[in-house]
Amino acid sequence: MMHNNLLQAIGNTPLVQVDLQTPCQLYAKLEYLNPGGSVKDRSSLFMIEDAEQRGILQPGGTIIDASSGNQGIATAMIGAIKGYKVIIAVSEKVSKEKLETLKAYGAQVVMCPATSFLQDPNSYHSQAMRIHKETPNSFMPDQYFNLANAMAHYKSLGPEIWRQTEGKITHFIAAAGTGGTISGAGRFLKEQNPNIKIIAVDSNVSYRSTKGHPQPYAIEGMGVDFDSPVLNYDIVDEFFEAPDAQSLAMLQHLARNKGILAGPSSGAVAYAAEQYCKQLKPTDLAVMIMGDSGRAYLTKNFY
């Protein structure tokens, strides 16, 4: 297929069967094969083009956002293509590879301390909000609170999975961070078949899991660490709380035995799928999201 530009190559990622010793059919949606390397290409493009259509992002403007890396990378890539200046505030726990990727796309990076709460004045979200307010002609996609985040996955990821599985999907398993992926794709799938089960994977020590008393965890790119309108709890049938140790161990198993070099949140999702799907039947078909690539984390020695 020939595309007029790189943005048209976002989406239509492969769905590949993976054997994790589960009785059901289990497929991995390889979102790391998007041009920017993650599922966040979808939401970033949708939020930016939504802002353009509404006139709140003007030519020559600046895009500012807070990101654990992947959303920022997608935004930096799209900004480079569309000609916007991009400023990304990141937490200091971001991987070296993600940091260098942001810079390679030409983004200005603002490093912020890791905080327990998004509302902390020093958090990367608070810093991005401050920069946005101080920068004329700027737009902040604000993935944590922008409902267009979930709509992106409702419009693209959900329909793709439905089409690729020929409507046979029975279970959808994805990491929950902002909640965009699980809520958007999950809502679309539920509308096609209300019996489809939506399983959100969260860290076992996140804000949500600990009822407001979060602890540090190693997994990047997931974890419900704040209250957000993007995460639609009515769509989620069950939360699976994944610990760091088992999630990171799954990364090695995927790479060495399945040839899937996936990022930490994908390790958590695969561990959740392996455990959850033990109760399923051979006629069930589960889809799990591999959100990004392990190449973005190699210096963390997870593998």
Q: What is the CATH number of the domain that holds 98?
A: 3.40.50.1100
| Predicted confidence (pLDDT) at residue 68 exceeds the cutoff of 90 | no
What average pLDDT does the segment 40-51 reach? 98
**Residue 29 domain-assigned?**
yes
* pLDDT for res 119: 82
The structural domain count of the chain equals: 2
Identify which of 67, 32, 65 has the alpha carbon closest to the alpha carbon of residue 51. 65
DSSP, res 145: T
pTM of the shown model: 0.95
Predicted confidence at residue 279, as pLDDT, reads 97
Distance CA 292, CA 248 (A): 14
**What is the rounded distance in angstroms from the CA atom of residue 170 to the CA atom of residue 193?**
9
Domain range for 21: 6-33+156-300
Helices (H), 124-179: 124-134, 148-155, 157-164
Is 151 within a domain? no
Q: Are residues 122 and 225 in the same domain?
A: no
259 and 281 together in one domain = yes
Q: What is the pLDDT of residue 88?
A: 97
Instruction: Determine whether 300 is an active site residue.
Output: no
Rounded (5°) CA angle 239-242-245: 180
Q: Assess whether pLDDT exceeds 80 at residue 293.
A: yes
Q: Which of 89, 107, 139 is the last residue of a domain?
A: 139
Mean pLDDT lowest among 6-15, 76-85, 217-226:
217-226
Predicted pLDDT of residue 95? 87
CA contacts within 13 A on the Cβ side of 147:
3
**Same domain for 45 and 29:** no
The tally of CA atoms less than 13 A away on the side-chain side of residue 29 is 32
Q: Assess whether 118 and 183 both reside in one domain.
A: no
pLDDT > 90: percent of the chain: 88
Q: Are 288 and 27 in contact (CB under 8 A)?
A: yes
| Average pLDDT score over residue span 225-246 | 95
Task: Show which of 78, 107, 139 is a domain's final residue.
Answer: 139
Catalytic residue (choose from 29, 40, 98, 197): 40
In a domain, 196, yes or no: yes
Residue 97: per-residue pLDDT: 94
